[in-house]
């Protein structure tokens, strides 16, 4: 069983520009059912043999799509997300970076009243190796297996998935949740999905400084965790007051420090790697 992305996922691409076209082709090559594109004013045409519609409503009505991936530029991305939410799609993945926080506040207020799972923005997306991907994740880094993987960092997602794959730890589903202050699927909820997935045997959690998602995730696993888990926190060596690349990686009011996150996971009985290369061995020890 996979989480969020399955063989029945039918995906539309909102924003069929250079990036959207490239990644639509990559998703199709991997076997994901990409069924349409949305580009206002271009309805009735096709791009790379993909039918194009003016609106998400038209695309869903014509193709029975149940998921969307968004490459719309930041200034219009929130409206694109809201358009997808209006159709009650099962999954929406927003790749777009630099969406203004006040725009995401509008999205969050609507998202709370829908059944849609929004991953992102500013994320690499979701992959269930061997079944499909909705995102920009490089497929060579991933392999099929039973390790569920949640990460706030896109680049570390690729690096650590590659390490796991080389060590024989294939993945059930990998979720890159994004590093912005306001995202659709927070880390605790993403981890819960994998914790409740019967085909996920163990968890790898990659966090970073800023916010309290990692502390909240550790508290959830301490109370409800049923599977071995290993964590890694990016930013352990960051000087006090240092901002990292993600907008959400900001330490404020003494909260969100690497030390507080490490302590939270260790208190929950979850070992924390000091560098990514340690993760496979810690996972092996947890599973032994």
Task: Give per-residue pLDDT as tens, 78-134.
Answer: 999 999 999 999 999 999 999 999 999 999 999 999 999 999 999 999 999 999 999
* Banded pLDDT at 190 (limits 50, 70, 90): very high
Do 1-122 and 138-288 share a fold? yes
- Ordered by start, the domain boundaries in the chain are 1-122, 138-288
Residue where the block lists tokens 């060596």:
237
Q: What's the predicted TM-score (pTM) here?
A: 0.94
Q: Residue 70 and residue 90: Cα distance in Å, rounded?
A: 14
Q: What is the pLDDT of residues 243-272, one digit of tens each?
A: 555 555 555 555 678 999 999 999 999 999
Cis ω on the peptide bond leading into residue 121 (within 30° of 0)? yes
For 50, the token pair is: 């993909």
Choosing from 23, 57, 102, 246, which is the catalytic residue? 246
CATH fold group of domain 1-122: Rossmann fold (3.40.50)
Q: What is the pLDDT of residue 1?
A: 56
What per-residue confidence (pLDDT) applies to 252? 52
Residue 222 pLDDT: 98
Cα–Cα distance measured from residue 1 to residue 207, given in angstroms and rounded to the nearest whole number = 25
Q: Any catalytic annotation for residue 102?
A: no
Q: What is the pLDDT of residues 29-53, one digit of tens each?
A: 999 999 999 999 999 999 999 999 9
Query: Domain spanning 138-288: which CATH class is it, in words?
Result: alpha beta
Mean pLDDT over 155-176 rounds to 97
């Amino acid at each position: 069983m996979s989480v969020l992305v399955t063989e029945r996922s039918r995906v539309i691409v909102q924003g069929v520009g250079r990036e959207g076209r490239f990644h639509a082709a990559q998703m199709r090559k991997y076997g994901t059912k990409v069924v349409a594109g949305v580009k206002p004013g271009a309805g009735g045409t096709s791009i790379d043999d993909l039918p194009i519609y003016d609106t998400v409503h038209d695309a869903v009505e014509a193709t029975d799509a149940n998921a969307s991936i968004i490459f719309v530029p930041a200034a219009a991305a929130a409206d694109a997300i809201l358009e997808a939410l209006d159709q009650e799609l099962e999954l929406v993945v927003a790749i777009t970076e630099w969406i203004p926080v006040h725009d995401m506040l509008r999205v969050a207020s609507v998202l709370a009243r829908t059944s849609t799972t929004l991953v992102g923005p500013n994320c690499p997306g979701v992959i269930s190796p061997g079944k499909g991907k909705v995102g920009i994740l490089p497929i060579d880094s991933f392999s099929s297996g039973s390790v569920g993987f949640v990460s706030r960092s896109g680049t570390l997602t690729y690096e650590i998935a590659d390490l796991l794959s080389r060590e024989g730890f294939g993945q059930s589903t990998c979720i890159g949740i994004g590093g912005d202050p306001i995202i659709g699927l927070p880390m605790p909820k993403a981890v819960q999905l994998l914790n409740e997935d019967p085909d996920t045997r163990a968890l790898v959690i990659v966090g970073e400084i800023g916010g309290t998602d990692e502390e909240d995730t550790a508290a959830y696993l301490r109370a409800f965790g049923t599977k071995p888990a290993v964590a890694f926190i990016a930013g352990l060596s960051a000087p006090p007051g240092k901002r990292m690349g993600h907008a959400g990686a900001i330490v404020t009011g003494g909260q969100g420090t690497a030390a507080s996150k490490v302590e939270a996971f260790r208190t929950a009985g979850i070992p924390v790697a000091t560098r990514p290369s340690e993760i496979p061995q810690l996972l092996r020890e947890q599973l032994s």
